[in-house]
Amino acid sequence: MAASADADFKTRLQNWIPKLVLSPSLAMMLVFVYGFILFSVYLSFTDSRILPSFGWVGWENYDKLWRLSHWETSLINMGIFASLYIVICTCIGLGLAIFLDQKIRGEGLLRPIYLYPMALSFIVTGTAWKWFLDPGIGLENVMHTWGWTSFEFDWIKNRDYAIYTVVLAAVWQTSGFVMAMFLAGLRGIDNEILRAAQMDGASNWNLYRRIIIPQLRPAFLSAFVILSHLAIKTFDLVIALTGGGPGRATELPATFMYSYTFTRNQMGIGAASATIMLMTIAAIMIPYLYAELREKR
Amino acid sequence: MRKFLKTKSLFVAGLLCTTSLAHAEDVEVLHWWTSGGEAAALNVLKDDLSGQGIGWTDMPVAGGGGEQAMTVLRARVTAGNAPTAVQALGFDILDWADQGALADLNEVAAQEGWDDVVPDALKAFAKHDGKWVSAPVNVHSTNWVWANKAVLDANGIAQPTNWDEFVAAVEALKAAGVTPIAHGGQAWQDATVFDAVAMSTLGPDGYKAAFIDLDEETLGGDAMKEAFDRMAFIRDNVDENFSGRDWNLATAMVINGEAGFQMMGDWAKGEFLNAGKVPGEDFLCFRFPGTQDQVTFNADQFMMFDQGGTVSAEQAALASAILSPSFQIAFNKVKGSVPARTDVDGSDLDACGQQGMKDLAAAASSGNLFGSMAHGHAAPASVKNAVYDVVTAHFNGEYGSEDAVTELVDAVSIAK
Amino acid sequence: MSQATQDTAIRTGRVTRTLIYLVLLLFGLFYLLPLYVMLVNSVKPLEEITGGGMMNLPQVFTIEPWLKAWSSAQIGVDPTGLKPYFWNSIKMVVPAVIVSTILGALNGYVLTKWRFKYDTILFGLMLFACFIPFQIVLIPMARMLGIIGLAGTTWGLALVHVVYGIGFTTLYFRNYYAVFPTELIRAAQIDGAGFFQIFWRILLPSSGPIAVVSIIWQFTNIWNDFLFGASFADANSQPMTVALNNLVQSSTGVKEYNVHFAGAILAAMPTLLVYIVAGRYFVRGLMAGSVKG
User: Given a cut of 80, is residue B155 above it in pLDDT?
Assistant: yes
Nearest beta carbon to residue C142 from set B37, B63, B79: B79
pLDDT of residue A216: 82
Mean pLDDT of A51-60: 88
- Say which CATH number the domain at C255 has: 1.10.3720.10
Residues C138 and C268 in one domain: yes
Looking at the domain assignment, is residue C167 inside a domain?
A: yes
Chain B: closest CA distance from residue C145 (Å): 6
Q: Is pLDDT at C26 greater than 70 in this prediction?
A: yes
| Residue among C12, C24, C120, C212 with most chain A CBs within 10 A, to mutate | C24
Model confidence at B20: pLDDT above 70: no
In a domain? residue C104: yes
pLDDT of residue A208 exceeding 60: yes
Residue C218 and residue C250 share a domain: yes
* Span A71-81, average pLDDT: 92
Q: Are residues C144 and C265 in the same domain?
A: yes
Q: What pLDDT, in 10s, does the model give residues B78-92?
A: 888 889 999 998 898
Chain B residues touching A259 at Cβ < 8 A: 385
Confidence band of C124 (pLDDT split at 50, 70, 90): confident
Q: How many CB pairs under 8 A join A and C?
A: 288
Q: Is B413 on the interface with A (CB under 8 A)?
A: no
| pLDDT beyond 70 at B3 | no
Higher pLDDT, B282 or C9: B282
Residues C35 and C119 in one domain: no
pLDDT for C233 equals 86
**Nearest C-alpha of chain A: how many angstroms from C249?**
9
Give the confidence band of A4 by pLDDT, cuts at 50, 70, 90: low
Could you give the CA distance from residue A10 to residue A23 in angstroms, rounded to a whole number?
A: 20
The answer to whether the Cβ–Cβ distance between A289 and C287 falls below 8 Å is: no
Chain C residues within 8 A of B37 when measuring between CB atoms: 253-254
Arithmetic mean of pLDDT over chain A: 85
Cross-chain Cβ contact A102/C17 below 8 Å: yes
Q: What is the DSSP letter of C134?
A: G
Q: Per mean pLDDT, which range of A180-194, B154-168, B341-355, C125-139 is the poorest?
A: A180-194
Look at C107 and A99 and tell me if their CB atoms are within 8 Å.
Answer: no
Domain assignment of residue C143, yes or no: yes
Residue C7 lies in a domain: no
- Within this chain, do residues C103 and C150 fall inside the same structural domain, yes or no? yes
CB B199 within 8 A of CB B143: yes
pLDDT for res B21: 41
Q: Looking at the complex, does the CB of residue B64 fall below 8 Å from at least one CB of chain C?
A: yes
* Claim to verify: residue C94 and residue C58 sit in the same structural domain: no
Percentage of chain C lying above the pLDDT 90 cut: 19
Note down the domain range covering C43: 14-65
ipTM over 0.85: no
pLDDT value of position A35? 93
Task: Please name the residues between 177 and 216 in chain C that touch chain A, using a CB distance below 8 Å.
Answer: 178, 194-196
User: Which CATH superfamily includes the segment(s) B144-296+369-415?
Assistant: Periplasmic binding protein-like II (3.40.190.10)
User: Nearest C-alpha of chain B: how many angstroms from C129?
Assistant: 22
Domain with CATH 3.40.190.10 in chain B: 2-140+298-353, 144-296+369-415
Question: Rounded to an integer, what distance in angstroms lies between the CA atom of residue A139 and that of residue B241?
Answer: 13
pLDDT of res. B199:
95
**Confidence at residue B124, expressed as pLDDT on a 0 to 100 scale:** 92
Residue with the bigger pLDDT between A205 and B172: it is: B172
Same domain membership, residue C93 and residue C52: no
Residue B47 has pLDDT above 80, yes or no: yes
Q: What is the pLDDT of residue C8?
A: 62
pLDDT at site B24:
46
Q: Are residue C170 and residue C268 in the same domain, yes or no?
A: yes
The pLDDT tens digits of the residues spanning C41-72 come to 889 888 887 666 677 788 888 888 898 888 88
Q: Are residues C88 and C47 in the same domain?
A: no
* Same domain (yes/no): C42, C91: no
The shortest CB-CB distance from A111 to any of C116, C175, C279 is to C279
Query: Is B406 in the A-facing interface, judged by CB distances under 8 Å?
Result: no
- Asked if the C-beta of C146 comes within 8 angstroms of chain A's C-beta atoms, the answer is no
Instruction: Identify the pLDDT of residue A75.
Output: 92
Does residue B369 sit in helix, strand or coil? strand
Which of B2, B189, B243 to probe by mutation at the A interface, max A CB count within 10 Å? B243
Q: Name which of B15, B30, B34 to mutate to probe chain C: the one with the most chain C Cβ atoms within 10 A of its Cβ.
A: B34
CB atoms C139 and B78 under 8 Å = yes
Range list of β-strands (E), B254-371: 259-263, 283-287, 295-298, 300-304, 338-339, 369-371
| Tens-digit pLDDT profile for residues C145-191 | 999 988 888 999 999 999 999 998 998 888 888 878 888 888 888 88
Contact at 8 Å (CB) between B340 and B109? no
- pLDDT at C181 (0 to 100): 83
Residue C77 belongs to some domain of the structure: no
Q: Say whether C251 and B42 touch across the interface (CB within 8 A).
A: no
pLDDT of residue B52: 87
The answer on C139 and C47 residing in a single domain is no
Confirm whether C9 is domain-assigned.
no
Is residue C115 pLDDT above 90, yes or no?
A: no
| Chain C: partners with 3+ C-beta pairs within 8 Å | A, B
Neighbours of chain A (3+ CB pairs under 8 A): B, C
Q: According to the model, what pLDDT value does residue A7 have?
A: 66
Given its phi and psi angles, is residue A189 left (phi above 0), alpha (psi -120 to 50 degrees) or beta? beta
CA distance linking residue B61 with residue A126, whole number of Å? 19
Give the pLDDT confidence score for residue C230 in this predicted structure. 86
A116-138 tens-digit pLDDT: 888 887 876 887 888 788 887 77
| Predicted confidence (pLDDT) at residue B375 exceeds the cutoff of 70 | yes
Is residue C253 over pLDDT 70? no
Among candidates B71, B252, B335 on the partner chain, residue whose Cβ is nearest the Cβ of C50: B252
> Is C71 part of any domain?
no
Does A144 reach chain B within 8 Å, measured CB to CB? Answer: no
- Please choose, from the candidates A23, A194, B3, A42, the residue with its C-alpha nearest in 3D space to the C-alpha of residue C8: A194
Number of domains in chain C: 2
Give 3-state DSSP helix, strand, coil % of chain B, rounded to 5: 55, 15, 30
Q: What pLDDT, on a 0 to 100 scale, did the predictor assign at position C183?
A: 86
Asked if B74 has any chain A CB less than 8 Å from its own CB, the reply is yes
Least confident window among A64-68, B36-40, C211-215:
B36-40
Task: Tell whether domain B2-140+298-353 is in CATH 3.30.420.10.
Answer: no
Contact at 8 Å (CB) between B65 and C251? yes
Whether C1 is covered by a domain: the verdict is: no
Given C6, C33, C65, the domain boundary residue is C65
Same domain, C157 and C225: yes
Instruction: Report percent pLDDT > 90 for chain B.
Output: 55
